[in-house]
Amino acid sequence: MTSFVACSEADRDHTPISREQPAWPHAAMLLCLEGSVVLEFTVGSDGRVHDASVIEATHPGIFDRAAIAATQTWSYQPRCESGMAVEARQRTALDFRMKARERAHCLPGARLLEGEAIELVAALGILYSVLGEWQYRPQESDWRVMFESAMVPSFGGDLGQVERFHHEFVDRLVDMARYSSLDKHYLPMPLLGQLINPGPSTAAPDEATLSELRRNVWEWTEQVYAFGDWLTERYAALRSAVSLDPDLLDVLVHGFIGDPTRGVSAQSAFAAEILELTESLLGLLEDPTSPWQLQPEGIRFDHDSDQAQFMQLANHFAKLEYRAGNSHQQFWSRFVDYRP
């Protein structure tokens, strides 16, 4: 469609002003997948890019989303015809090539990826792109609809087993994360934070409040342990059930969710620390020989030794809170590049 926007020149072709390189999909980087895509898009009379599509790709589905997402930030000097800016179609190729230092982060089995295994990586990339999108709106009641098309079984044999493992992992992860997100009073870090650093309108915690906090932290810890137990057993079962090269299996799993064994160990250890901190904190607050009051600047104990212990627990909490934030960001950042 022609736009009636005046140009400073009578006739000229469209030329790029800004064309940022696309972000690398996280899994593609770990898997050492390289390739190229050919894009076709429209440069509008305002210089913006729209209607971008991939018309050719060395690995269909691997880099498509990242390439299309990059075009949303591009800008052009529009084409001019007879002194008016007009739309123009453009075709361009984007290469995804790794530098030597980036190859150091590749998983060992990346060299084994070929054929259907690459197709599975593309399918899982779509699944985890939906997961990356979902984290920004976890309270939607129709979340299963979001995942429905991405969780249709598409592979058989050993690769089908790997696909089912990922489907089950995402299903359980979303269930657990959604439950926590919908019930904000269930999450331990915000609850502990309110107790250690109360706001100006926060009421002094009574016995019922402290009991509820203890119950919530215990329930959260049990969920973390249960998820870890399931993941450990399910991953072990997958490794026993398939005849894939172990390095290839590691690539198809670790490339998306990291090493499940290490992940479970780290998460379980973190949950144990939270539980221990909670018990120490509540034990101090519930001790009748350690009187305290809620003052404008926070909880203040009558005895200096109790106050020192409380501050030590508060500092420990601050470190755990920082670690929790980093861990959350590192986990979810795996899927950011796959977001549509």
pLDDT tens per residue, range 73-127:
999 988 888 888 888 999 999 998 888 777 777 777 888 888 899 889 888 888 8
Q: Average pLDDT of the chain?
A: 83
* 129/47 same-domain check: no
157 in Cβ contact with 116 (< 8 Å): no
With 50 as the cut, is the pLDDT of residue 197 above it?
yes
pLDDT of residue 101: 77
- Assess whether 196 and 331 both reside in one domain: yes
Residue 325 has pLDDT above 80, yes or no: no
* Segment 31-52 mean pLDDT: 90
* 90 and 229 together in one domain: no
Residue 81 maps to which CATH number? 3.30.2420.10
Ranges 179-183, 251-255, 319-323: which has the least confidence: 179-183
C-alpha span between 272 and 251 (Å, rounded):
30
333 — pLDDT class (breaks 50, 70, 90): low
More confident of the two residues 25 and 142? 25
CA distance 284 to 229: 32
Q: Higher model confidence: residue 139 or residue 325?
A: 325
- The pLDDT, as a whole number, for residue 3 is 44
Do residue 185 and residue 321 come from a single domain? yes
Among 53-67, 176-190, 298-312, the minimum mean pLDDT is found in 176-190
For residue range 254-304, list pLDDT tens digits in order. Answer: 888 888 988 888 888 888 998 999 999 999 999 999 999 888 778 899 999
The position carrying tokens 């400073």 is 8
In whole angstroms, what is the distance from residue 229 CA to residue 52 CA? Answer: 44
Residues 137 and 281 in one domain: yes
Last residue of a domain, one of 65, 88, 103: 103
Q: Which residue has the higher pLDDT, 326 or 243?
A: 243
> Based on the domain organization, do 142 and 176 belong to the same domain?
yes
pLDDT at residue 182 in the model: 43
Do 76 and 204 have their domain in common? no
Total domains in the fold of the chain: 2
> To the nearest whole percent, how much of the chain has pLDDT over 90?
29
For CA atoms 278, 282, 285, 290, give the dihedral sign. negative
Task: Choose between 201 and 108: higher pLDDT.
Answer: 108
**Mean pLDDT within 133-153:** 71
pLDDT at position 2 over 50: no
Pick from 59, 85, 103: which residue ends a domain?
103
Name the strand (E) or helix (H) holding 49. strand 49-57
DSSP 271-305: HHHHHHHHHHHHHHHH-TTS-EEEETTEEEESSHH
50-54, 61-65, 152-156: the lowest-pLDDT one:
61-65
User: Are 118 and 137 contained in the same domain?
Assistant: yes
Tell me, what's the pLDDT at 64?
87
299 and 232 housed in the same domain: yes
The reported pLDDT for the residue numbered 185 is 41
Based on the fold, state whether residues 162 and 287 are members of the same structural domain: yes
- Are residues 310 and 199 part of one domain? yes
Specify the pLDDT at position 6: 60
The band of 340, judged by pLDDT with boundaries at 50, 70 and 90, is: very low
Q: Is the pLDDT of residue 180 over 70?
A: no
Quick: pLDDT tens for 235-247.
Answer: 999 999 999 999 9
Alpha-carbon distance of 169 to 124, in angstroms, equals: 12
The range of the structural domain enclosing residue 253 comes to 110-336
Query: Residue 270 in 3-state DSSP?
Result: helix
Under DSSP, is residue 38 helix (H, G, I), strand (E, B) or coil? strand
> Of 86, 103, 120, which one is at a domain's C-terminal end?
103
- Are the C-beta atoms of residues 335 and 26 closer than 8 Å to each other? yes
Q: Are residue 84 and residue 121 in the same domain, yes or no?
A: no
The pLDDT value recorded for residue 184 is 42
